[in-house]
Structure 1
Amino acid sequence: MNNRFIFLLSVVGVLAAFATAWLTGRPTVAQPPVFNPAQNPYAQGIYANGIIESAQSHGQNVNIYPEVSGTIRRILVSEGDAVRAGAPLLQIDDSIQRATVAQLRAQMEAAATTLQALRAQPRKETLAVSQAQERQARADLETARNQYDKQQRSYQIEPRSVSLDALDTARNKLETAQAAHAVAQRQYELTRAGAWSYDIRNQERLASAADRAYQAAAALLDRYTLRAPVDGVVLSVNAALGSYASPQGVYDSYTQGALPALVMGADTGQYDVRCYIDEILISRLPAPERIVAQMAIRGTNVKLPLQYVRVQPYVSPKIALSNQRQERVDVRVLPVIFRFTRPRDVRVYPGQLVDVYVGRRN
């Protein structure tokens, strides 16, 4: 019984071995590709990596950096929002600068008030007091003069009627009253003349300096709100509430470098493709009027013709990995910019990598 069971197991094992050998020996039929790889449509076309950007008349996408440092308190837009030039995008904590502006405004208003007070001199109340003092001094002078004249006439009529000491005292009182009246009269004229022109000019300069300091502080306060420099679309928001921003940008933990707080692109319905031509292939580039190009979108069978726009005439290091100039690479490339209009049934985004072939028009 046991021998028969062992024999059956052996037969099954042999059959399984033959089946396995037959199955593994069958030729494997390759699966058709999901999409066809990009093929060179030109006889001597040059291949290049390309990156899609929003269409710009000059340069690349608009990278927005803060002009001041501080903690981000509000983010007013989302990625994909269409904004107008001047629209607020992001706000940095401005509490200290706002207090500084308030202080400088108070100083500016105080300086302006002082200048206004100088220009309004003399005050009618002050002028009235000075005038009253001049009248009093004049009345005292008349009294002293009358007293002296009486005693002098009496002395001339009868010398024994007035002593010389009394006559000298009356003369001294007259001279004192004359001096007091002269001082009161000059003081009245000084009061009536108003503020000194030099004091007014000096206060004008102080008021102007205070106003400029206030205007500068207010302009700096406005820098705590990042605004859209142009009409366009918000492509990327690299900031987060509570993160620290500076004129160098916002720290990115992935690249361990600084990124712009926001990136904006144009909303024109057209896109640019920035191609990087290897420096050893630059000599094979056709003349600008004879350049033709085709773009293949990776992961699809979509191929679109490209229109030549311009060459960025500076061969720079290829920094496609981290977008940082510190990236150590041995390859240098020449950027060439093309343009295309996105078909309605094709979905592409700025920042997307594409395959580009550059050829020569016959």
Structure 2
Amino acid sequence: MVRSFGLPLVAVAAFSYMAWHVASSSQATPQTEPVVEPSRAPFTEVVAGVGLIEPRSENIEVAAITPGTVVEVKVLEGAEVTAGDVLFRLDDRQLQAELAVQKSLLAEAEATLGRWQQMPRQEDVPPSEARVKKFQADVELRRDQLHRTRTLVAKNAMAEQELVEREQAYQAAQAELTQSLAEDARLKAGAWKADVAVARAQVERMEAQVAQARVEIDRLAVRSPIAGRVLKVDVRPGEYVGTPPGKPLVVLGDVSKLHVRVDIDEQDLPRLEPGMPGEGFVRGDADHPLKLSFVRIEPFTEPKRSLTGFGNERIDTRVLQVIYAVESAPREVYVGQQIDVFLDKSKGRVETAAVGR
């Protein structure tokens, strides 16, 4: 009797528990409010895209021109710089030593040129003139001796051998006088033009080498190419830096007017028109729109960037990049922030003057 009622009771209890469990688990989950309200399109007909805030000049990534050790960093993030300001310096001691050597060689070349240009030396002129006078006197002496000898030989008072010797001595004295006159004229004429030209060319070559050494030293002082703001500094004193591609050490930009680089999906390009006004919302702030004005279109579609990092991902979507200027911002925005951009398609084409870079 008990067995006949036990099994039905167990089945009823199990079915009741199952019904209770299903009813309790099927209750609707209470809806939670989002922490941050997503941005919504402010226009009735829009062309939407995702943008990135950048400087008016775009990001200028400055790297070292030559490998070396950083000895000084002159700027900090957020600092304002002008074109030509030094951002950081590399060790230049070796080049300074080479410059000193080049300067000494230049001084030697200049001294050599000056020596050629100052010829003849005033101290060398009197000895040369005295030598000429000496040989002139010797020639007169030999001429007188030769004349006397000829007279005596004609009277048979002297042998003809003596006459020959006196003639040879006279000719030798004349040759020495001619040589001394030529040397005196060459001395007083100064340096040969070809010698001066060679010396001057040597000076010019050494000047060029000194200038080259100074340029090499100046290259170790990396300077700002524009007037703008330092956005990022990724170098410190004592670090050895090379010249690998894509390794910026300092990032600069002209933030006097911010731009937004908007990626427009290729599927939306038929609806895109140059000059369309727009608004943007930075991520996390859907209550304060940024007024945007059209600047230009970069007429080259490129693959949409992927931020997942997976190497096997295929990207079949291409985007066109459109540049807009931030006309007004209710609060401070920063370079590199992502922004949701909505372009007003209902207003159609608007004639605007493209803003330069």
Q: Aligned residue for 2:8? A: none
Indicate the residue corresponding to 2:117 in structure 1: 119
Matched residue of 1:288: which SS?
coil
Match of 1:15 in 2: none
* Matched residue, 1:200: 196
Q: Does 1:281 align with 2:282?
A: no
Structure 2 unaligned spans of 5+? 1-20, 348-357
What is the TM-score of this pair, normalised by structure 2? 0.81
Residue 5 of structure 1 is matched in structure 2 by none
Deviates more, 1:312-321 or 1:33-42: 312-321
Count of residue correspondences? 323
Deviation of 1:65 after TM superposition, in Å, equals: 2.7
Which residue of 316, 330, 335 corresponds with 2:302? Answer: 316
Aligned equivalent of 2:320, options 334, 338, 343: 334
User: Quick one: which of 220, 229, 234 aligns to 1:233?
Assistant: 229
1:219, distance to aligned residue in structure 2 (A)? 1.6
In structure 2, distance between residues paired with 1:220 and 1:328: 46
Q: Does 1:214 align with 2:210?
A: yes
Q: Which amino acid aligns with 1:263?
A: V
RMSD (CA atoms): 2.7
Structure 1 position 104, deviation (Å): 2.3
Q: 1: CA distance between counterparts of 2:129 and 2:317?
A: 92
User: Separation in 2 of the partners of 1:159 and 1:25?
Assistant: 165
Q: Secondary structure at the match of 1:159?
A: coil
User: TM-score scaled by structure 1?
Assistant: 0.80
1:51 maps to 52
Identity %: 28
- d(CA) in 2 for partners of 1:163 and 1:182? 30
SS of the aligned residue for 1:259 comes to coil
Shifted more, 229-238 versus 147-156: the winner is 147-156
Give the aligned residue type for 1:232: G
Residue pair 1:271, 1:342 contacting (<8 A) in 2 also: no
Aligned position for 1:261: 249
> What CA distance in whole angstroms lies between the structure 1 residues aligned with 2:277 and 2:187?
87
The runs of 5 or more residues in structure 1 that have no matched partner are 1-19, 250-257
Do the aligned residues in 1 keep the contact of 2:295 with 2:323 (CA within 8 Å)? yes
| SS of residue paired to 1:315 | strand
Worse-matched range after superposition: 70-79 or 276-285: 276-285
- What does residue range 89-108 of structure 1 map to in structure 2 within 5 Å? 89-108=87-106
Matches within 5 A, 1:111-260: 111-156=109-154, 158-160=155-157, 162-248=158-244, 258-260=246-248
Letter in 2 for 1:50: G
For 2:115 and 2:346, the matched residues in 1 are separated by 80
- Over 3 Å counting, the alpha-carbon distance change for 1:238 and 1:218 in structure 2 is same
Deviation, structure 1 residue 322: 10
Structure 1 counterpart of 2:209, one-letter code: A
Structure 1 equivalent of residue 337 of structure 2: 352
